[in-house]
Amino acid sequence: MDNYKSLKPFLEPRSIAIIGLSRRTGEGSNNALENLLGYGYRGKIYPVNPNTGEILGVKAYPSIKDVDGPVDLAVISTHRSRVPAHIRECAEKGVKCISIVTQGFVDAGDEEGSRLFKEIADIARSSGCRILGPNSFGSANVYHNFCSAFARIHMQRNPVGLICQTGGLFNSSSEFRFIGKGLDIGNTCNVDFADCLEYFEHDPEVKVIVLHIEGMADARRFFNVAKRISGKKPIVALKTGKIEQSVRAASSHTGSLAGRHVVWEAALKQAGVISVDSFEELTDITRAFCLLPPLTNPNVCVATFSGGVAIMALDAMRNTGLHAGKLSKTTGAKIEKLAPEWLSVGNPVDHWPIVMGSGSMTRTLSDILEILLSDAEFGALLFIQIVPSPAMSREIKGILDSLAAKYPSRPLVATLTGPCSFELVRELQNEGRILAFTAPERAIRALARVHEYIEFRLRSPAD
Amino acid sequence: MDNYKSLKPFLEPRSIAIIGLSRRTGEGSNNALENLLGYGYRGKIYPVNPNTGEILGVKAYPSIKDVDGPVDLAVISTHRSRVPAHIRECAEKGVKCISIVTQGFVDAGDEEGSRLFKEIADIARSSGCRILGPNSFGSANVYHNFCSAFARIHMQRNPVGLICQTGGLFNSSSEFRFIGKGLDIGNTCNVDFADCLEYFEHDPEVKVIVLHIEGMADARRFFNVAKRISGKKPIVALKTGKIEQSVRAASSHTGSLAGRHVVWEAALKQAGVISVDSFEELTDITRAFCLLPPLTNPNVCVATFSGGVAIMALDAMRNTGLHAGKLSKTTGAKIEKLAPEWLSVGNPVDHWPIVMGSGSMTRTLSDILEILLSDAEFGALLFIQIVPSPAMSREIKGILDSLAAKYPSRPLVATLTGPCSFELVRELQNEGRILAFTAPERAIRALARVHEYIEFRLRSPAD
């Protein structure tokens, strides 16, 4: 619980000092204070800037020492040469947590940068302060309307704890927010992956932990901690630095040792970490863990408007634990009652001819899906549907919403194609209740990774 | 040129008869006549329905024999048992091209279906009619405001010729239209992949050929034809049926022999066909061939707002022919003139600190990209950018538009992330001038496949 206590001010600060805050405000100015006010952050904010008495109507202080109240968290973004002095002042003031935004330490590749890096690491050690960074985007907690970063982030309450080495992930994918809560450990002079993992281990609001790893100094401790936690909460990781050039780039980006890719892959797997291969997969799998109830078995039912697209889904099951088993007699008979006599009903269930031949398309489609979803022999239902028009989009959304409400414990994934599907997928993404993708392979991949994790949990139960 | 002549009525019919057209019209009725009127198709349309004198104000005929003018194309969607008779009547009437929408031939798996299939194949052979299908979605040509399908399609003028075995691809991806022009060969009793390839070989409006293959009877002829054409136009193929179950599903979907996946992969490669692995890749790569000018070399410049996301792009270059080479002295010096003194300028070019420190963000960003784009040592530029707000979205779009207009022969790909990127990518997709993705790996994959094809063309020049 040590890290849960000591890192808490990064995520739930009652007060924050922003050292080196610019007076520039408005669009494109990247003013952290302006952002905090915009989020509706309710703690105390102390801008520190020796050249002004106020910024955006908030009283500014010449130095952290002049701040009258207690400060939970300080954020430093001054020139690198002045960072050690600011940290010492923070320590004297009794600030326990400090984020360093400033770049140009080990990432700069020069001697001065390395010297300063060592200096701030030493201050952290001797003072007991916890330091995030340097070269950190900061920390965020949308449950507290809080983000210390200079760039504005989107506040969506996903139960995700992000630990990353690039601020790029705070604003993250266009399709999903990895925050929830987030810590950019940057160049890691003091707070590292293992520390943050232990924080999210104990955070009841975090259900899924996401890692963006460029490299790290103490991999052994990380794997020990990850192994303990992965049995309790899914840890999804994107390890970058897979080729020599990106390893070099990682070294100049975060000054970290990337290590050999294959070794990493094996070690992550060993620790029960769900390792993903791309930004898009990170997005899809994290979202899947947020939204899907657990699969009780690997048998997937596919209901499809198109035989051809269903075959793509079956292909995607290759080398996963998933399969599309036969329909049970009972379920088959129920579907056959609705279907035209010539249709041979199986899995995939070709719902198009059934729906087309029926009096009420929406009703029949909904009936079919309900029959399939309530068959416990299936661990999940993949629904592949074309969205030809805005009117049909509303119908389909209505069906999905009511099914999700009626069967909350049944894993349901939609693959939507056709003219109006992009917009419907976007709408479902924003609402955050139903898992939907624009391609069948992405839907199957999401189901497969969630299923893999459930199997892993069964093999290695949490203590 | 034989197939170019004989298949032309499928794509440029001056008149079409729709045999078995329903009287039902309006949303969800899937009325092919209603669609044609909606597209603004300018040929003659002859509905054939013995139970009515008109549909949607268009005169209907009891039989094809009663139609007074010449008919280029007939579309049949009656019960399977009546299809052979309709084909014979069409042949007597002098119709040269016939699409059969009706299902339940080899796909049904019963004896009657196989018998009827053989019967229609025999009629085609003896009469000289060309038959598309059965179980075909039909044909489409947006350049002629034409699509014979019962489901409405989106008309976007992409220079793409699609040959497929599922109508699902006519309405295609949410992100891209594969039509252009399209032929669904369905169960292939007469017109096959090789025939359609030869059509698009000679079609000057088609720049990229897309194949969705479930299986085929005469693979030898297909590979010979593909090998000849792939040196002239890129052929992008998604071969489905990779696992035993999907092979079985393909057999019941289109009655075709899927064959072993690895053998297919090798043979496609040998024929110079660009084989893709998923629906999303098919979408991305086809779009890339439509939009990208050829890469003159495999050296990619990466300009990025985030070191972390750029590393993902570098990782994605693994196992491709692409690499990110050093900046030339001249280009490096030009960028350094704009950059803060502490920044070590290289490739990837970290544009964020340069842009942030400048007086005019938009101007500086545009200047940087122009310097990089005009450096011929790079074969392509990957621009990775966050889109934090609608205002920034407009700025970024403005920069991209003017760069694309100024450097039409330079390959430029954008990866856009952050809160407003999904919408901007969608806008760029719809406008169809600039290649943009939401994930760095997808951008690199697109560049890599286009580069591979260019290398292939250099090794095997077209005659």
Locate B356 and state its tokens.
């942030």
Question: How high is the pLDDT of residue A253?
Answer: 66
pLDDT-wise least confident of A34-38, A81-85, A454-458, B456-460: B456-460
Confidence of residue A196 (pLDDT cuts 50, 70, 90): very high
Do B171 and A241 lie within an 8 Å CB cutoff? no
With contacts defined as CB-CB under 8 Å, which chain A residues touch B167? 306, 308
Mean pLDDT of chain B: 93
Closest alpha carbon within chain A to B212: A308
Residue B19 — φ and ψ, nearest 5°?
Answer: -95, 120
Do A168 and B305 lie within an 8 Å CB cutoff? yes
Cβ distance B178 to A417 under 8 Å? no
CA of B1 to nearest chain A CA: how many angstroms apart?
30
Length of chain A: 463
Cβ distance B58 to B33 under 8 Å? yes
Tens digits of per-residue pLDDT, A354-374? 998 787 889 999 999 999 999
Query: How far apart (Å, rounded) are the C-alpha atoms in residues B378 and B297?
Result: 7
Q: Is residue A150 domain-shared with residue A244, that is, in the same domain? A: yes
Name the residue facing B249 among A305, A310, A439 (closest C-beta).
A310
Confidence of residue A140 (pLDDT cuts 50, 70, 90): very high
Do B174 and A426 lie within an 8 Å CB cutoff? no
Query: How far apart (Å, rounded) are the C-alpha atoms in residues A347 and A310?
Result: 10
DSSP H/E element including B304: strand B300-304
Cβ distance B250 to B241 under 8 Å? yes
Tens digits of per-residue pLDDT, B240-249? 987 777 777 7
Confidence of residue A255 (pLDDT cuts 50, 70, 90): low
Judge whether residue A334 has pLDDT over 70.
Answer: yes
Question: How high is the pLDDT of residue A168?
Answer: 86
Burial class (CB in 10 A: 0-12, 13-18, 19+), A64: buried
Q: Is residue B271 domain-shared with residue B355, that is, in the same domain? A: no
Mean pLDDT of A185-192: 96
Output Rg (C-alpha) for chain A, integer angstroms.
25
Do B417 and A212 lie within an 8 Å CB cutoff? no
Mean pLDDT of B5-33: 94
Judge whether residue B351 has pLDDT over 60.
Answer: yes
Q: Is residue B319 domain-shared with residue B256, that is, in the same domain? A: no
What's the farthest any 2 CA atoms get from each other in chain A?
83
Helix, coil or strand: residue B144: helix
Question: How high is the pLDDT of residue A254?
Answer: 63
**End-to-end Cα spacing for chain A:** 16
With contacts defined as CB-CB under 8 Å, which chain A residues touch B323? 245
CA A45 to mean position of chain CA atoms: 27
Name which of A154, A311, A341 to mutate to probe chain B: the one with the most chain B Cβ atoms within 10 A of its Cβ. A311
Do B240 and A439 lie within an 8 Å CB cutoff? no
Mean pLDDT of B118-137: 96
Rounded to 5°, the CA angle B191-B197-B198 comes to 90
Do A279 and B241 lie within an 8 Å CB cutoff? no
* DSSP, residue by residue, B59-86: E-BSSGGG--S--SEEEE-S-GGGHHHH
Mean pLDDT of A278-292: 96
What's the farthest any 2 CA atoms get from each other in chain B?
83
With contacts defined as CB-CB under 8 Å, which chain B residues touch A342? 80, 103-104, 108
Do A278 and B439 lie within an 8 Å CB cutoff? yes
pLDDT-wise least confident of A74-88, A249-263, A371-385, B36-50: A249-263
Q: Is residue A274 domain-shared with residue A381, that is, in the same domain? A: no
Question: How high is the pLDDT of residue A260?
Answer: 81
Name the residue facing A441 among B169, B278, B422 (closest C-beta).
B278
CA proximity to B178, closest of B84, B294, B326, B280: B280
With contacts defined as CB-CB under 8 Å, which chain B residues touch A318? 242-243
With contacts defined as CB-CB under 8 Å, which chain A residues touch B30? 356
Question: How high is the pLDDT of residue B12?
Answer: 98
Tens digits of per-residue pLDDT, B195-219? 999 999 999 999 999 999 998 888 9
Do B425 and A174 lie within an 8 Å CB cutoff? yes
One-letter amino acid for residue B203 of the chain: D
CA of A460 to nearest chain B CA: how many angstroms apart?
30
Length of chain B: 463
- Using CA atoms, how far residue A350 sits from A306, A417, A445, B111, B253, in Å, is 7, 16, 21, 21, 10
Q: Is residue A188 domain-shared with residue A309, that is, in the same domain? A: no
- Using CA atoms, how far residue A111 sits from A103, A115, A193, B4, in Å, is 14, 6, 26, 69
Question: How high is the pLDDT of residue A425?
Answer: 93
Domain that holds residue A419: 293-459
Name the residue facing A174 among B28, B306, B421 (closest C-beta).
B421
Tens digits of per-residue pLDDT, B246-270? 777 766 666 555 568 888 999 999 9
Name the residue facing B315 among A167, A240, A386 (closest C-beta).
A240
Q: Is residue B263 domain-shared with residue B301, that is, in the same domain? A: no
- Using CA atoms, how far residue A265 sits from A213, A268, A269, in Å, is 12, 5, 6
The interface predicted TM-score (ipTM) is: 0.93
Question: Last residue of some domain: B289, B309, B337?
Answer: B289
Query: How far apart (Å, rounded) are the C-alpha atoms in residues A434 and B231?
Result: 45
Rounded to 5°, the CA angle A301-A302-A303 comes to 120
Closest alpha carbon within chain B to A184: B308
With tokens 């002629």, the residue in question is: B144
Do A306 and B243 lie within an 8 Å CB cutoff? no
As for how many domains chain A has, the answer is 2
Confidence of residue A149 (pLDDT cuts 50, 70, 90): very high
Query: How far apart (Å, rounded) are the C-alpha atoms in residues A117 and A101?
Result: 13
Q: Is residue A243 domain-shared with residue A374, that is, in the same domain? A: no
DSSP state of B417: E
With contacts defined as CB-CB under 8 Å, which chain B residues touch A307? 166, 249, 252-254
Question: How high is the pLDDT of residue A220?
Answer: 93
Name which of B172, B314, B352, B420 to mutate to probe chain A: the one with the most chain A Cβ atoms within 10 A of its Cβ. B314
Do B165 and A308 lie within an 8 Å CB cutoff? yes
Question: How high is the pLDDT of residue A176?
Answer: 80
Burial class (CB in 10 A: 0-12, 13-18, 19+), B26: exposed
Closest alpha carbon within chain B to A172: B418
CA proximity to B432, closest of B313, B286, B302, B294: B286
Question: Last residue of some domain: B273, B289, B305?
Answer: B289
Q: Is residue B122 domain-shared with residue B239, that is, in the same domain? A: yes
Locate B329 and state its tokens.
């002295």
Helix, coil or strand: residue B327: coil
Closest alpha carbon within chain A to B353: A103
Q: Which residues pair with A18 in a beta bridge?
A: A47, A75
CA of A172 to nearest chain B CA: how many angstroms apart?
5
Query: How far apart (Å, rounded) are the C-alpha atoms in residues B47 and A428?
Result: 40
Name which of B246, B260, B416, B429 to mutate to probe chain A: the one with the most chain A Cβ atoms within 10 A of its Cβ. B246
Residue A251 — φ and ψ, nearest 5°?
Answer: -65, -40
Residue A433 — φ and ψ, nearest 5°?
Answer: -115, -35
Closest alpha carbon within chain B to A80: B342
Q: Which residues pair with A349 in a beta bridge?
A: A303
Which CATH number does the domain housing residue B368 bear?
3.40.50.261
For CA atoms B142, B145, B147, B150, give the dihedral sign: positive
Name the residue facing B249 among A165, A242, A311 (closest C-beta).
A311
Q: Is residue B245 domain-shared with residue B329, that is, in the same domain? A: no
Cβ-Cβ contacts under 8 Å for B168 (sequence gap 6 or more)? A305, A306, A308, A309, A386, A417
Strands (E), B133-253: 139-141, 146-147, 160-164, 181-184, 208-213, 235-239
DSSP H/E element including A395: helix A390-406
Q: Is residue B130 domain-shared with residue B52, that is, in the same domain? A: yes
Q: Is residue B267 domain-shared with residue B345, that is, in the same domain? A: no
Query: How far apart (Å, rounded) are the C-alpha atoms in residues B380 and B398?
Result: 20
Cβ-Cβ contacts under 8 Å for B246 (sequence gap 6 or more)? A311, A314, A315, B240, B258
Q: Is residue B303 domain-shared with residue B195, that is, in the same domain? A: no
Do A442 and B388 lie within an 8 Å CB cutoff? no
A276-A278-A281-A286 Cα dihedral, nearest 10 degrees:
70
One-letter amino acid for residue B46 of the chain: Y
Question: Last residue of some domain: A254, A289, A324?
Answer: A289
Burial class (CB in 10 A: 0-12, 13-18, 19+), A252: middle
DSSP H/E element including B5: helix B2-6
Output Rg (C-alpha) for chain B, integer angstroms.
25
Strand bridging mode A380-386 / B160-164: unpaired
One-letter amino acid for residue B406 of the chain: K
Question: How high is the pLDDT of residue B62?
Answer: 97
Count other C-beta atoms under 10 Å from residue A401's C-beta: 14
CA proximity to B252, closest of A314, A444, A382, A414: A314
Mean pLDDT of B440-456: 97
With contacts defined as CB-CB under 8 Å, which chain A residues touch B259? none
**Chains A, B: CB pairs < 8 Å:** 222
Residue A161 — φ and ψ, nearest 5°?
Answer: -110, 115
Do B278 and A151 lie within an 8 Å CB cutoff? no
With tokens 């949607």, the residue in question is: B56
B71-B77-B80-B81 Cα dihedral, nearest 10 degrees:
-60
One-letter amino acid for residue A422 of the chain: F
Which CATH number does the domain housing residue B127 bear?
3.40.50.720
